[in-house]
Structures are given as C-alpha cells and as structure tokens.
Amino acid sequence: MFADVILPVPFDSFTYLVPPHMETRVMRGCRVVVPFGKSKIYTGVVIATHHRQPQGIEVKDIIEALDDSPVVSEQQFTFWQWIAKYYICPLGDVMKAALPGAMKPKDDAALRETSKKRQKRNSETADQTAHTLNPLSLAQQTAMQEIEASFQTKNVTLLHGVTSSGKTEIYMHLIQKCISQGKQVLYLLPEIALTTQITNRLRHVFGDQMGVYHSKFTDAQRLDIYRRQASPHPHMLMLGVRSSIFLPFQRLGLIIVDEEHEQTYKQQEPAPRYHARNAAIMLAHMCGAKTLLGTATPSFEVFHLAHKQRYGYVTLTQRYRDMQLPTIEVVDTKEAKRKKLMKGPFSPRLIEVISDALSRNEQIILFQNRRGFANFIQCHQCGWVPRCPHCDVTLTLHRKVSTLTCHYCGYTTRIPTQCPACEEQKFDSIGTGTEKIEDLIPTLFPHATALRMDLDTAKTRLQHERIIDAFAHHRADILIGTQMVTKGLDFDNVSVVGILDADLMLNLPDFRSHERAFQTLSQVAGRAGRKNRPGHVILQTRSANSDIIRQITAGDYWQMFLTQMSERQLFRYPPFCRLICIYLRHRDSRLLDHLAADLGQRLRTVFGDRILGPDCPPVSRIHSLHIRKIMLKLEHQAPIDQVRQALLAIQHQLTAQPIAKNLNIYYDVDPL
C-alpha cells in the first residue's frame, strides 16, 4: 500500500510506502512521520492511500504512524483544497498555515501531559457563569430582525453600522441564539491587538463556552484549542484572528467577521496568501452556516455585492443612545504653511484645540501614519540620502535610539557623523514620524504627558496592553500613534482627535488609497467622544477642497463609493475585474529582467492584453532579492480552474530552463 502525504514544504504531496504492519493505522487525515531528502524527518498528513506504484522514483517507507483516527476532517480537507486552488499555492503551504506548529511528533508526548494539566486548571478557574446580555435598543432589535430575515434567503449579510451603533451587542444576541440551537460560532477579528477588550466583553456573557485563538499563543496552547475543538466538547464560541478559520468545526452555524474591511485579514507573507473574510465565507458555505460581515466603512468588494443584492444588507445609522458623531474640522495646512504659522506638523488651530482640551482635563489622540522620527535624513549640502543595502528603500531615522532602520528587512545602522559623498556633517531630517511628534509635545504643551503607540513601542501584546491601560487610566494626556490607535479602542475621556497629515494616506500610489483613507480616517475620528460628549476631530491636509476630504468630513460613504467606483470602472480595477499578481524574485537583477520578460511574453500568448507588465514594484528589492511583478486582469466570469492550470503550465515551461534555476515565483490572488 502507498500513501500520499502532505508535508510542510511547498508541494502538494509525496508518495510513501506503507509498511504492512502500519496499514490499519495509515488513513486519510492521520499524521505520519516520514524521511525527506537526504537526512530530514518530517511529520505530514496522509491525504490518500492507494496501490498505484509511482513510476521512475524511489519510494521510501513511512517511519511511524501517529494517530488512530484522523486529526484532519473531510470538511477541513475540502477547505484546504479550496484555499490551495483559489490562491494558487501548494497544499503543503496550506497545511503549514492550518495546523498548529506543535503537531510534530517530538513534542507530542510532552504536550499531551501539559495539555491535560492545563485543561484541568482551565476548567477549575474558568468563569462558568454566563451574565447580563444587554437588552437591545429598538434600532438594534430591528437590525437584528433584518439580519435574521436576510439569512432566510442569503448566506452572507453586511451589517453597515456607524461606530458605536452597537454592532457588537447585536453580534452577542446572534451568538447566544446560535449557541442555544446547539450550533457553533466563529467570531473573527482582524488583529490580536483588538482581542483584549472584546474578549472581556464576550467572556462576561459566554464564560467558558468561549475560546480564544491567535498566533501569539504558544504552540502548546494552540494545540490544546485545536484538540478541544475536535473533541466531543468544543468551545461553542471561538474568537480569533484570521488563522482560526483553520480550526476544526463540527456544527458551525455562524461566522461573524468584525471590521470586515480591514486589510490585515489578508495574509501577505508567506503563502497561502488568503483573505480570511473571503475564505470564511467559503468555509461557512461548506458547513451550511451563515456569515455576518460587520463594519462602519465597508470594503468596496463587499459593499458592491450587497448593492447588487448578492449579499443581504442591514444598516444602523444612529449611535447607541443617539450619541453625536464627532464633528470633523478641516485645517488647510497649505495656507498655514504659506503664512509660516506651522509649528512643525502642528497648525495653530490644532494647538489651540489641544490646549483647550488639556485645560478641561480631557485627553487627546494624535494620529500620524508613519513611525520613526523622520522618513529619512538627507545631507544638508549635497542631498545624499542613506539607503538600505539590502532593499530598495531609504532608511528611517529613529532618533531616540540613534539609528537608521530599514522598515522592510530590519537592517539597522548608526546615524553617520558625516556624509560619505561630501564630508558635510549636517543632515536634515525629512518627513514627520510619530517620534518627532512626541518630541515636540514638551515644547508645545509643557504640562502635558504623552504616550506613543506604534510598532516600535508596542512590539508585544503586553506592551500594547500597557499603553492602552495607562491611557485609559489617564496616566497620560496625549496618545500619539500610527494605525494602531485607530482600531477598536474605546476610551471615555478622549474629546479631541488630531489627524496630522491626511495627505500621507491620500497620496499613496494605489487605486485603493481613497477608499482606505476614508476607512482609516473615519475609524480614527470615531475614537473621539465615544461616551458622554461629542468629540472634535481636527483633520490637517493640503487638499482641503478635494472631494475625498469633503466626503470624509461629511461621513458620506455613498458619495465616496460612487466617485471611486466610476474611476475603478474607467480604469478596470476591482471590483470590476479580478486581479492576480505574479511575482518573480531573484538575486540577479539582469537575469530576473530577462526571465520576467520571457514569462510576460509566454503569458500574453494565452491571456493577451489581460497581462500587464512586467514592472518593478514600488519597492523592487527586499532582503537582497530583486522583485518583478506581472499583473493579470480577469473578467469575473473567467473560468478560474483553467486560468490556474494555464498559469502553472506556463510557469513550468519557464522554470524548466536551466537559467531559471534559482528563480522564485509566487501568486497573489485578489491582492490588497
């Protein structure tokens, strides 16, 4: 007997011989230990057993069979295979993402031991008491009824509700209903950073029925949860980040995707480059479950389908208890700059509003979507700019730690004492990061204390929680941060939000930049005045009279959608077509150019002018690997199976050439 085994390497599967004494234990879905290459030993999952002797290759024996019954269910296999096909990546990569790292043999015995102990402790300490669901307001009740009604005819429904309209309260009622019918719920969040506040809220109501799953857990913890979900007594509610879609589910009834528009739902690196929201919709479909997508600012992909009535659509336009949405005041920094009134990135108006809030003992959030001190430094005399030796980017100045750092590969070096080109000793710092803003606070607001939250100060979950906790307890007046401060944070005493430079987001060379700016800036604005008074947002921009700024200040999603969609239609971008990006990577840029041109030509013979490129992406070298990109624009009705087969066939033609030996190719389907 032979077994096809998925291994944690970028291939679909490998065939092994099953020794006769193992034949009863080697089944589809069970783990086996196998030799690989010259000296490696891997654990893999059997995907099939058969009697077809592979031709022309040496077949090795399975070393050990680990399970008596499958650890990967049929439903999971179907899901894995869908991911592999849709996102054009090997099953081995999907398995690596799907199974907790600890499902390897050496740790197994030890893990079982600790796992038992931990489960015992958990069941002793867990808060079993389920409390005080809040009764829903009238508007919330109506929304809930509309959601349930739409689920009668649709598998997916979008809940489009302004921030603080009580979407989470509605989720909790739906979850309770689902659980009471004996069905499981998966609640997806875009980021670990968001889990703490939500976990506390849900734990209060669902107690030990709820489990939490994310990548910052240890392998042992993740294995525990995986096992429990496959056991006869799984958590009925699972709260998790994108990888939790790979957990085993037995009777899934509902998936909630909170903040569905968030980019972090898409895995960028490594493969599988899946979108957890889209994969969740497929998973729900496979399990006969429903999907609820919630957000205040829907992604175009989702809103478009809701608009076409493929998805159900439910809105909440009022905040809970009719609290006011914040007023957004636009400050034209072009004007202020011309009159030389700016103090660094602060306009006089922003300084005034912050000072007023401080005098009332209220707190302030300042948003700047760039970390570090300055974007880069430049020789005062000749204009020389230090760049990363491994990547095609400038180095970012981090002044507190006196370094220049590459935000792509982490390369770090000391700030030079003199310019290597002209020996000048003075450098100018260009652009403003969160660190520079923090630096200016003591000068501008001598009595205020500030905290900074970005990738440098909140590297770990604990650091992140500490900052939030300190700010929530008013141990600082001002919180300065990147994207991190925009998300799901709920502070009582914040009356002012300052957006220092909206143009940073608007001017990105990306067809989604306006959609994203609208989403992010609405989110950050929503942090102002959440509890008892309306908030005040100051939005600084050099394009005060643009449509997009008007749409953001008016909170007019619909106008923004219409404006942007007409451009997308004109230039054929999603959601009017589908994109597949084909990336090529190689150390040698000239060889890479040659191979990329070759691939482009081959692809054009099949796909014609649907192929764009090859081009250099905005950052065309990372970690010493040069990168080229070819884009495929497909009609929605394109036969996706055939497209994938054609792409792979052409890839194999290309890579069969000896010069393509060290070429790396991968696909990014529905790139963000």
Chain-centroid distance, C-alpha 514: 18
The site string for ligand ADP over 140-179 (x = CB under 6 A, - otherwise) reads: x--------------------x-xxxxxxx----------
Q: How far is the CB of 136 from ligand ADP (least distance, A)?
A: 5
Residue closer to ligand ADP (CB basis): 311 or 320: 320
Strand 412-414's sheet: what is its strand order? 396-398, 403-405, 412-414
Residue 391 touches which member of Zn ion, ligand ADP, none, C-beta under 5-8 Å by kind: Zn ion
Question: Which of residues 256 and 499 has its CB atom nearest to ligand ADP in the complex?
Answer: 256
- Name which of 315 and 429 has its Cβ closer to ligand ADP: 315
CB 372 within 8 A of CB 434: yes
d(CA 479, CA 208): 34
* DSSP-assigned letter for residue 308: T
Helices 167-180, 195-206: axis angle to 10 degrees equals 40
The binder of Zn ion chosen from 255, 388, 404, 584 (CB under 5 A): 388
**Residue 400 structure tokens:** 């507190």
Residues ≥6 apart with Cβ < 8 Å to 27: 46, 49, 69, 70
| Per-residue contact string for residues 399-418; x = within reach of Zn ion by CB under 5 A | -------x-xx-x-------
Tell me how far the alpha carbon of residue 252 is from its chain's centroid.
23
Q: Which long-range contacts (CB under 8 A, 24 or more apart) does 532-536 make?
A: 532/323, 532/492, 533/495, 534/323, 534/324, 534/325, 534/326, 534/327, 535/326, 535/327, 535/494, 535/495, 535/496, 535/497, 536/326, 536/327, 536/329, 536/353, 536/357, 536/495, 536/496, 536/497
In sequence order, which residues have a C-beta less than 8 Å from that of residue 569 and are 6 or more positions away?
576
The CA distance from 75 to 254, in Å, is: 16
* Among ligand ADP, Zn ion, none, partner that 320 touches (CB below 5 to 8 angstroms by kind): ligand ADP
Of 189 and 238, CB closest to ligand ADP: 189
Q: Which does 596 bind (CB under 5 to 8 A by kind): Zn ion, ligand ADP, none?
A: none
Interface with ligand ADP, residue 92, by CB under 6 A: no
Residue 435's Cβ-side half-sphere holds a number of Cα atoms within 13 Å equal to 20
List the single partner that 140 binds among Zn ion, ligand ADP, none, CB under 5 to 8 Å by kind.
ligand ADP
Closest residue by Cα to residue 384 from 412, 411, 414, 424: 424
- The neighbour count for residue 446, using CB atoms within 10 Å, is 7
Query: How far is CA 322 from each of CA 162, 301, 319, 516, rounded to the nearest angstrom?
Result: 11, 30, 5, 27
298 binds ligand ADP per the rule CB under 6 A: no
Give dist(CA 326, CA 289) in Å, integer: 37
Q: Which is nearer to ligand ADP, 170 or 245 (CB)?
A: 170
Q: How far is the CB of 98 from Zn ion (least distance, A)?
A: 30
Binding to Zn ion by residue 217, rule CB under 5 A?
Answer: no
Give the burial class of 381: count Cβ atoms within 10 A of its Cβ; 0-12 exposed, 13-18 middle, 19 or more buried.
middle
Q: How far is CA 376 from CA 148, 254, 409, in A?
A: 52, 47, 16
Binding mask 97-136 for ligand ADP (x = CB under 6 A): -------------------------------------x-x
Residue 245 vs 377, nearer CB to Zn ion: 377
419 binds, among ligand ADP, Zn ion, none (CB under 5 to 8 A by kind): Zn ion
Give residues 309-328 in contact with ligand ADP (rule: CB under 6 A).
320
Name which of 77 and 427 has its Cβ closer to Zn ion.
427
Least spacing, CB of residue 296 vs ligand ADP, in Å = 7
Q: Does 391 bind Zn ion (CB under 5 A)?
A: yes
CB 390 within 8 A of CB 406: yes
Which of ligand ADP, Zn ion, none has residue 167 at its interface (CB below 5 to 8 Å by kind)? ligand ADP
**Using CB under 5 A, which of 36, 82, 217, 384 touches Zn ion?**
384
Is the CB of 388 or the CB of 506 nearer to Zn ion? Answer: 388
* Of 46 and 296, CB closest to ligand ADP: 296
Q: Taking CB within 5 to 8 Å according to partner kind, which of ligand ADP, Zn ion, none is near residue 4? A: none
- Asked if 424 interacts with Zn ion (CB under 5 A), we say yes
Binds Zn ion (CB under 5 A): choice among 212, 379, 479, 650: 379
Rounded to whole angstroms, how far apart are CA atoms 21 and 50?
16
CA distance 634 to 591: 28
Q: Which does 136 bind (CB under 5 to 8 A by kind): ligand ADP, Zn ion, none?
A: ligand ADP
Task: Report how many residues bind ligand ADP under the rule CB under 6 A.
Answer: 13
Map residues 383-412 to x or -, x wherever contact with ligand ADP holds by CB under 6 A: ------------------------------
Q: Count the neighbouring beta carbons within 10 Å of the beta carbon of residue 556.
A: 15
* CB 407 to Zn ion: min, Å: 8
- Of 371, 360, 351, give the one whose Cα is nearest residue 529: 360
- CA 514 to CA 549: how far, in whole Å? 9
Q: Which does 408 bind (CB under 5 to 8 A by kind): Zn ion, ligand ADP, none?
A: Zn ion
Catalog residues that contact ligand ADP under the rule CB under 6 A.
134, 136-137, 140, 161, 163-169, 320
Footprint on this chain of Zn ion (rule: CB under 5 A): 379, 381-382, 384, 388, 390-391, 406, 408-409, 411, 419, 421-422, 424
